[in-house]
Amino acid sequence: MSALLKNVTNCIWHAFESLQNNDVVHKSKLKVLTANIGTLLDLYGVEKGLDHFRSSQELTFDEYKYYLQHEVFSSLPKTVTLPIIREYEKKISEVCWLVCRKSLLARDKAVFGDESVFKLFRIFCLLADLVQDADDTNRYVVVLQPSEAGIVAEQLVHCLGLRWDAADWEALGSSIGHFKWAAFLAVLEAKYCCDQQTHPEALVEAVDEIYDVFIEDIIKKGYLFKRGYLLPTMREYWCVLQPCALTYYKSSSQKDQCGRIAIDEYCSVEASVGEGKIQRFQLITPDRTFEFGTQDHKSRLQWISALRQAAAVSGGAEGYQRRARAGRRGAGARREREVRETKARLQHEVRARLAAEAQAQELAELAQQDNRKLEELKTTQVELERLLQEETQAKRDEEIVRALQARVLAEEWERREELERLQEEQNRMLEEERMKRKQFEILQAEKEAQYKEAEKRLRELEEEKRRLDAELHAAQEKISRTELTAHALHVQLRQDMNPILRNGERARRAISFVPTTKSSSDTLIDIRAIKHLKVLDDDEKL
C-alpha cells in the first residue's frame, strides 16, 4: 500500500526526528512506534521483524521507511477505498503526533490550542515535501514551499475576516525560503493571529475550516433543499460535499447525519426547472436520481460545479487536495519552464541581433579585404605562372628521382630478404643454444644433486667417525680404569696374603717335625695340608 505510506511519510519522519540521535534511532524505540502503527492497521506482531532486519541495532530513516514499506504496509490490501485510507492517515498521524508533540509544541508565545496545532500539523505534512538537507545530504527535512504555505495562510486570513496582502507574503516567502514546521507555525501565530481582538473561538473555527478543506477534502458545504423519497417535499439540510460522497445533516453542527450519497465518476449533475423560488438541480447516480434546490441561481451554479468536480476527482486512492497540490506544482513547473523558455528565447534573439551586427561589420571589413586581395591576386598570378614552370621542371626531376627510388627500393627489398634469412638462421642458432643451455642446466642440476648427496654422505661418515672415536676413547678409558682397578686389587691382595704366607711357613716347619709313622687318617690330613699350601703358593704368585 505505497499510496498510504507516501501520504503519512512526513508524519512518520517527524516522529523519527524526535526519537533520533545522530541521524539514527535504536530499534527498541522503533519497535514501539511500529507496533502502534501495526495495531492501527489491524496488523499484529509486525515489530518483531525489526530484530532480524539489518545487523546493526540502529536504523536510519531510509532503512526504517524500507522496512515499513516491505514488512508493514505491503500486508494491506492493494485496493482500499478513499474513506478507509483517510481514516488510516488520521490514526497514524495521531500516533506520530503523540511521539513528537512535545518538541513540536515548544514555542515562546502560544496562540493556537493543542488541538488546533495538531490540525495545522496535519495540513503542513499534507502540503510539505520530504527533501535532503542542504547542509547534510545523509539526512532529510520536511519543508513547505512558500506558495503552498501562502495558500494556507490566505485561507486562514479569510476565515478570520482579515485582509490578505499577497505582496507582503511574497516578500516574506522570498526572505525565508522553504518553511519548516517551527517557522510555519511561528509565522501564522506571530503575523496573522497575534491581534488581541481575535477571539480564541474564532481561531479554532478558522483552523477547523481550513482543516476541513485540506484534510477532510471538503469541496463545499452549506444548506440545500432535498426532495424526499416517499414524500415529495423539499426539506432543508446541511450538506457537506467530499470527492467520494455528499453527506447531509440536520444542522451545521454535523452531529445528526441524515444520509450519505456516494459519488463516483459515473454520476452526473443537471439543472432542472421547478416551481416557486427554489432553484432546482438533479444529482444522477447509477442507483437513483436525487433532486436538490437552492435559494438563488448563483448558489445552484456553485453546487453544480462543485458536484461535477467531486465526480471528476472521486476515483483513485489520493484525495482532492493532494491532486490539487500536484496540479499546482505541475502548473508552477510549467510556468517556470515557460519563463525559462521566454528568457532563453529573448537571450537568443539578443545574441542573434548582436551576431547580425557583428556579421555586417565583418562583411564590410571583408569587402575591403577582398579589394586588397584582388590586387594581391594579380601579383600572385604572375608569381604562380613562374612557379608553374618551376613545378613542371620539378615534376621531371621528380620522375627521375622516383626511378632512382624504385631501384633503391628493389635493392632494399633484396637486402631485407637477406636480412630476414640471416635473422631466421640467428633465431635457429639461438634456439639450439637455448636447448644446449637447457641440457647443461639439467646436467648441472644433476651434478649439484650428486654433490649435495656426497656432502650429505661425507657428513654422515664424519658423524660416524666422531661416534667411533668417542666409543674408542670410552673403551680406552674403561681399559685404563680396569688396569688401575686390577693393580689396586693386586696390591691389596699381596697385603692381605702376607700374613697367610707367614702362617704357611710356620705350618711347613711344623710338619717337618711330625713323626714319620702315621696312620691312614693322619696321611690324609697331611695331603690336604699340602694341597692347601699349594693353593696358598698359587695365590702368592698371583
- Nearest by Cα to 288 from 249, 246, 237, 255: 246
**CA–centroid distance for 197 within its chain:** 54
As a residue count, the chain comes to: 542
HSE-CB of 171 using CA atoms within 13 angstroms: 4
Spatial distance between the Cα atoms of 87 and 165, rounded to a whole number of angstroms? 35
Residue 527: its pLDDT value, please?
55
**Percent helix, strand and coil across the chain, each rounded to 5?**
70, 10, 20
Residue 237: its pLDDT value, please?
93
For residue 98, the SS3 value is helix
Q: Is the dihedral of CA 105, 109, 114, 117 positive or negative?
A: negative
- Where does residue 39 rank: exposed (0-12), middle (13-18), buried (19+ CB within 10 A)? middle
Contact status, residue 61 vs residue 16, Cβ threshold 8 Å: yes
The helix-helix angle for 200-214 and 114-127 (nearest 10°) equals 30
Q: Phi, psi (5° rounding) for residue 514?
A: -75, 145
For residue 108, the SS3 value is coil
Spatial distance between the Cα atoms of 159 and 220, rounded to a whole number of angstroms? 14
The helix-helix angle for 166-176 and 146-159 (nearest 10°) equals 140
Q: Phi, psi (5° rounding) for residue 386?
A: -65, -40
Sheet containing 234-242: give its strands across: 257-262, 245-249, 234-242, 220-227, 289-294, 279-284, 268-271
What is Dmax (Cα atoms) for the chain?
A: 202
Q: Phi, psi (5° rounding) for residue 483?
A: -60, -45
Calculate the CA dihedral of residues 410, 415, 420, 422 and round it to 10 degrees: 160
Contact status, residue 281 vs residue 292, Cβ threshold 8 Å: yes
Looking at residue 516, its amino acid is: T
Calculate the CA dihedral of residues 479, 484, 487, 491 and round it to 10 degrees: -160
Cα angle, residue 306 at apex, residues 302 and 310 outer, rounded to 5°: 175
- Residue 293's DSSP bridge partners are 225, 280
Spatial distance between the Cα atoms of 288 and 261, rounded to a whole number of angstroms? 10
CB contact set of 116 (below 8 Å; sequence gap of 6+): 203, 204, 207, 208
**pLDDT (tens digit, 9 = 90+) per residue, 489-511?**
888 888 877 777 777 666 666 55
Q: Phi, psi (5° rounding) for residue 9?
A: -60, -40
Spatial distance between the Cα atoms of 302 and 292, rounded to a whole number of angstroms? 13
Residue 517: its pLDDT value, please?
44
Q: Phi, psi (5° rounding) for residue 251?
A: -145, 175
Pairing of strands 220-227, 140-143: unpaired
Looking at residue 298, its amino acid is: K
Which H/E stretch holds residue 138? none
- Nearest by Cα to 65 from 101, 18, 111, 16: 16
HSE-CB of 492 using CA atoms within 13 angstroms: 6
CB contact set of 535 (below 8 Å; sequence gap of 6+): none
- Residue 193's DSSP bridge partners are none
For residue 42, the SS3 value is coil
Q: Cell triple for residue 11?
A: 508524519
Residue with cell string 416557486: 276
Residue 514: its pLDDT value, please?
45
CB contact set of 273 (below 8 Å; sequence gap of 6+): 280
For residue 149, the SS3 value is helix
Q: Cell triple for residue 500?
A: 697367610
pLDDT by position in tens, the chain (length 542): 577 888 888 888 888 888 887 788 888 888 888 888 888 888 888 888 888 888 888 888 888 888 888 888 888 877 777 778 888 888 888 889 888 888 888 877 878 888 888 888 888 888 888 888 777 767 888 888 888 888 888 888 888 888 888 888 888 888 887 888 888 888 888 877 766 566 778 888 888 888 888 888 888 999 999 988 877 788 999 999 988 889 999 988 888 889 999 988 889 999 887 667 888 999 999 888 999 999 889 999 999 999 998 888 876 666 677 777 776 766 656 666 776 777 777 888 888 888 888 888 888 888 888 888 888 888 888 888 888 888 889 888 889 998 898 999 999 899 999 999 999 999 999 999 999 999 999 999 999 999 999 899 999 999 999 999 899 999 999 998 888 988 888 888 888 777 777 776 666 665 554 444 444 445 555 555 555 555 555 554 54
Spatial distance between the Cα atoms of 365 and 213, rounded to a whole number of angstroms? 70
Residue with cell string 678409558: 477
Q: Residue 12, Cβ neighbours under 10 Å: how many?
A: 24
**pLDDT (tens digit, 9 = 90+) per residue, 57-70?**
888 888 888 888 88
Looking at residue 29, its amino acid is: K
